[in-house]
């Protein structure tokens, strides 16, 4: 790749792989919680699996994160949304919120697990008198763990933005009734491309990037805390 060193390319490939895996876990978490709360739609569709073929979206899982990584933006990706029928939930109004929060919660758990392993590996390395050599085995293990933590923190905080179709918007679901609720379901089916354009392309025009400021203040600061 023109202008990229071998280290840059390896970093990019590693980031994409971790984003795709973390996004799949995020979607499976939605389906699993929905299943536990009474809706088997995702299970019947074969989506309660980590098989990439069942989840990858050509644009959202590969092209979009690749473009963002090359552009130097916070890497975001999405897998095919896991289907579920809110009418099958035992308590639809409250259970929809739990289903929505399952995705960000899975990212938080992944970030905490990654940080714990990072600290364990780092402490063992220091105890053995080792040192980090760029390109060495220890370097790549710690690099992968740090990226895994960061990717999941970004996915968590991004999805908590209260705009459809992100998970944070589901927090308003208990407030919607009748036709307003139906319109919401209709809007969320095609609003993700619009949202991505607004959050990533508009800042290029107005030269103000609130998304990066938000992610730096949330995911960035929490990353420093977890890996300190």
The pLDDT mean for the chain works out to: 84
Q: Annotated catalytic, 182?
A: no
Give the pLDDT band of residue 131 (cuts 50, 70, 90): low
Residue 135: what are its φ and ψ, rounded to 5°? 95, -10
Give the pLDDT band of residue 1 (cuts 50, 70, 90): very low
The C-alpha angle 147, 153, 154, rounded to 5 degrees, equals 90
| Confidence check: pLDDT of 44 > 60 | yes
User: What pTM, to 2 d.p., does this model score?
Assistant: 0.85
Give Cα separations from 78 to 18, 63, 146, 161, 222 (angstroms).
12, 11, 20, 15, 22
What kind and span of H or E run contains 15?
Answer: helix 6-36
Among residues 27, 96, 182, 224, the one annotated as catalytic is: 27
Q: For the beta carbon of residue 140, count every other beta carbon within 10 angstroms.
A: 14
| Confidence check: pLDDT of 218 > 80 | yes
pLDDT for the residue numbered 135: 59
For the record, the structure tokens of 226 come out as 């977890």
Lowest mean pLDDT among 14-18, 74-78, 98-102: 74-78
């Amino acid at each position: 790749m023109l202008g990229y060193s071998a280290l840059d390319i390896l970093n990019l490939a590693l980031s994409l792989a971790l984003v795709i895996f973390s996004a799949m876990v995020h979607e499976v978490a939605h389906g699993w919680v929905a299943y536990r709360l009474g809706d088997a739609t995702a299970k019947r569709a074969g989506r309660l699996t980590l098989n990439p073929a069942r989840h990858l979206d050509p644009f959202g899982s590969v092209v979009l994160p690749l473009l963002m990584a090359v552009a130097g933006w916070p890497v975001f990706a999405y897998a095919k949304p896991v289907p579920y029928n809110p009418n099958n939930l035992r308590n639809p109004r409250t259970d929809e919120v739990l289903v929505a929060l399952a995705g960000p919660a899975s990212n938080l758990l992944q970030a905490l697990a990654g940080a714990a392993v990072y600290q364990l590996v780092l402490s063992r390395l220091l105890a053995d008198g080792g040192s980090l050599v760029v390109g060495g085995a220890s370097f790549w293990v710690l690099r992968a763990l740090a990226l895994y933590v960061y990717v999941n923190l970004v996915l968590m905080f991004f999805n908590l933005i209260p705009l459809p179709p992100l998970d944070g918007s589901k927090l308003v679901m208990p407030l919607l009734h009748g036709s307003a609720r139906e319109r919401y379901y209709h809007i969320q089916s095609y609003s993700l491309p619009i949202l991505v354009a607004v959050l990533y392309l508009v800042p290029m025009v107005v030269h103000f990037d609130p998304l990066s400021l938000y992610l730096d203040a949330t995911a960035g600061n929490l990353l420093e805390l977890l890996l300190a």
